[in-house]
């Protein structure tokens, strides 16, 4: 590829600008064409304490990128006549006793996130345990009706494969994919032994609030896992072999891993992805077309790790990115793709990329003004030369956004140790003007607010607000607030949806829907002591009220 050396210089510079605005210690990126790995770039530390740098050979957890590997093995079994994509999972796993109020859930539904099953809370640390917990969380919409991402669905995929083949999922991955395509440093299960050459995962120190760049990073809780939804450990170099498998449409270096017909099935779009124009979900893969051309991609996340895998089939290259920490890689991926396309086509490279400053708010004056809280407090919001600052409770603080977010939102981080437990969220009126703000339990009205007055909430709801904890490292806390007459559930660590929170809608028998009732998220509150609930049961897992309120 002409200009490849210059392209990797530019990619390396982009990594240096990207890493400081993530919640990660290190990053690795590699690129391949259909024949060979073209190069790799690394920055930061695999382990901060020892000063060990990230190398191209450093292993990371790849998370949900693993789903497409499991989908390939399903399609191998389908072609061999041992599996039917439209067979009911309850027939394939007779012990499951899965509630199916809207009709049979099939392998096809599981593979495409159209089963109506909950995402899964990881409260049960094993695939079998999660499957049994699913009995308590029935689907909330008919199979095939809508897209709702479900890790639990892919746990069932792995259990089906194990039952049909009589082989553990990690051995299937090794024998069917890793060995045939030469992924010699990759394993399909996370156990204590992988830690010998694994990058240390990192996460922000605080678990009860949205992460800020000023928060310290700490080593993440290590999780043992052997399930089809995300238990692969690999390197960026090994993952380029997987990129070549996709670029060559299922053909590996020693023959086909997936037939042409089954590969086409793997990447055939099934259902549009919400809020992502031009993108759809196939079998374990996002597929579609954007401003840079056709793509086949998937992201991944584990506790302390995130990853991205993206193939540009028309340009003939694939990009793999791995971090030992969190933070969006979308902007970095887009810039890397543009740099590689320019090198491939011999055109001028794009301008150097840098993420926006966290304080940058181009429309800052739209938020400025005085807001009056329903508790009598006053919030002052001021536009400055470089963003926004507020005064609340005689404390002045800067507001920040995620500099790597794909789209700006009306939610801001409050950079002050006494105020950062809650984001400051603004609301707009029907004409799109900022008219109100929310911080914790307080509703602040702007001078232009002309909306309805809130209803008085049921007295029983006053027992529910607070912080609830669980030992699940994926979602250690849930926070419930009561503001403007409504209960709201926040996910300080695992966002759960694009806004990071959802209104609680009362249902029958004391349950609430977290967001739209047809979305499979349910919560209820129990164990009332001195007028406060002590237990929040969320999608089958249990969280307990913390003293930190």
Segment 124-183, tens digit of pLDDT? 889 999 999 899 889 999 999 999 999 999 999 999 999 999 999 999 999 999 999 999
Residues 524 and 440 in one domain: no
pLDDT score for 1: 61
**pLDDT value at 540 more than 90:** no
Share of the chain above pLDDT 70, in %: 98
Place of tokens 């003939």: 316
Based on the domain organization, do 476 and 414 belong to the same domain?
Answer: no
The three-state secondary structure class of 114 is coil
* Geometric angle at alpha carbon 536, from 520 and 101, rounded to 5°: 30
* Average pLDDT score over residue span 190-208: 95
**Are 330 and 371 within one domain?**
no
Q: Quote the pLDDT of residue 309.
A: 98
Domain match, 436 and 463 both = no
Query: Residue 440's domain is classified under what CATH number?
Result: 2.40.128.50
Radius of gyration of the chain (CA): 24
* Average pLDDT of span 11-30: 97
pLDDT of residue 214: 93
The per-residue pLDDT for range 99-129, each reduced to its tens digit, is 999 999 999 999 999 999 999 888 888 999 9
- How high does pLDDT run on average in the chain? 95
Residues in contact with 379: Cβ distance below 8 Å, sequence separation at least 6, in sequence order: 370, 371, 372, 373, 390, 391, 392, 437, 439, 444
Mark whether 489 and 537 lie in a shared domain.
Answer: yes
- Number of domains comprising the chain: 3
**pLDDT value for 498:** 47
Query: 466 with 368, same domain?
Result: no
Provide the 10 A C-beta neighbour count for residue 192. Answer: 8
pTM for the full predicted model: 0.95
Q: Which residues of 40-67 are buried (b: 16+ CB within 10 A; e: fewer)?
A: bbbbbbbbbeeeeebbbebbbbbbbbbb
249 and 397 belong to one structural domain: no
Judge whether 441 lies within some domain: yes
DSSP per-residue string spanning 435-484? EEEEETTEEEEETT--SPPPPPPPGGGGGS-EEEE-S-SSS-EEEEEEET
Cα 238 off chain centre by: 23
What's the CATH code of the domain at 506?
2.40.128.600
Q: Is residue 72 part of a domain?
A: no
Expressed as residue numbers, the domain containing 410 is 364-446
Token pair of 405 as six digits: 């977010």
For residues 43 and 186, state if they share a domain. Answer: yes
**Is 329 inside a domain boundary?**
yes
Over pLDDT 90: what percentage of the chain?
Answer: 91
pLDDT band with cut points at 50, 70 and 90 for residue 448: confident
465 and 439 co-located in one domain: no
């Amino acid at each position: 590829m002409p200009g490849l050396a210059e392209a990797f210089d530019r990619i390396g510079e982009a990594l240096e600008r990207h890493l400081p605005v993530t919640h990660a210690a290190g990053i690795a990126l590699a690129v391949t064409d259909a024949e060979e790995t073209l190069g790799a770039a690394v920055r930061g530390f695999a382990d901060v304490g020892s000063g060990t740098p990230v190398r191209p050979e450093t292993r990371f957890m790849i998370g949900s990128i693993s789903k497409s590997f499991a989908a390939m093995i399903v399609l191998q079994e389908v072609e061999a006549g041992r599996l039917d994509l439209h067979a009911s999972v309850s027939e394939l796993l007779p012990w499951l006793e899965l509630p199916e109020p809207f009709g049979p859930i099939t392998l096809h539904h599981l593979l495409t996130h159209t089963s109506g099953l909950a995402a899964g809370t990881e409260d049960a640390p094993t695939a079998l345990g999660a499957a049994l917990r699913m009995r308590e969380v029935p689907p909330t919409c008919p199979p095939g009706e809508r897209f709702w991402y479900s890790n639990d669905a892919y746990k069932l995929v792995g259990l089906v494969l194990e039952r049909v083949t009589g082989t553990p999922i990690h051995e299937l991955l090794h024998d069917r994919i890793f060995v045939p395509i030469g992924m010699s440093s990759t394993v399909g299960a996370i156990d204590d032994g992988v830690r010998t050459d694994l990058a240390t995962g990192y996460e922000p120190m605080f678990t009860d609030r949205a992460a800020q760049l000023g928060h310290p990073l700490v080593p993440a809780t290590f999780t043992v896992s052997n399930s089809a939804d995300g238990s692969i450990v690999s390197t960026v170099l090994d993952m380029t072999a997987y990129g070549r498998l996709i670029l060559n449409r299922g053909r590996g270096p020693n023959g086909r891993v997936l037939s042409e017909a089954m590969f086409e099935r793997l990447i055939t779009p099934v259902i549009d992805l919400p809020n992502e124009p031009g993108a759809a979900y196939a079998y374990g893969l996002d597929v579609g077309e954007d401003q840079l051309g056709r793509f086949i991609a998937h992201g991944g996340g584990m506790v302390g790790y995130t990853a991205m895998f993206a193939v540009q089939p028309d340009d003939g290259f694939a990009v793999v990115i791995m971090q030992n920490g969190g933070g969006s890689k979308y902007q970095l991926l887009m810039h890397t793709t543009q740099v590689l396309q320019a090198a491939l086509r011999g055109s001028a490279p794009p301008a150097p990329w840098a993420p926006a400053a966290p304080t940058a708010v181009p429309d800052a004056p739209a938020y400025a003004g005085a807001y009056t809280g329903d508790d009598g407090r006053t919030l002052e919001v001021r536009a400055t030369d470089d963003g926004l600052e507020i005064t609340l409770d005689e404390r002045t603080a800067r507001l920040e956004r995620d500099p790597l977010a794909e789209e700006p939102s009306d939610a801001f981080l409050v950079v002050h140790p006494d105020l950062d437990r809650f984001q400051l969220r603004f609301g707009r009126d029907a004409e799109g003007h900022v008219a109100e703000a929310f911080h914790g339990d307080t509703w602040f009205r702007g001078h232009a607010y002309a909306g309805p007055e809130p209803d008085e909430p049921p007295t029983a709801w006053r027992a529910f607000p607070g912080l609830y904890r669980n030992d699940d490292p994926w979602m250690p806390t849930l926070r419930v607030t009561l503001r403007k007459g409504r209960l709201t559930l926040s996910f300080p660590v695992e966002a759960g949806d694009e806004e990071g929170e959802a209104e609680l809608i009362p249902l029958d028998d004391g349950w609430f829907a977290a967001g739209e009732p047809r979305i499979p998220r349910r919560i209820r509150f129990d164990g009332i002591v001195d007028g406060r609930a002590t237990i929040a049961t969320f999608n089958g897992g249990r969280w307990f009220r913390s003293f930190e309120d």
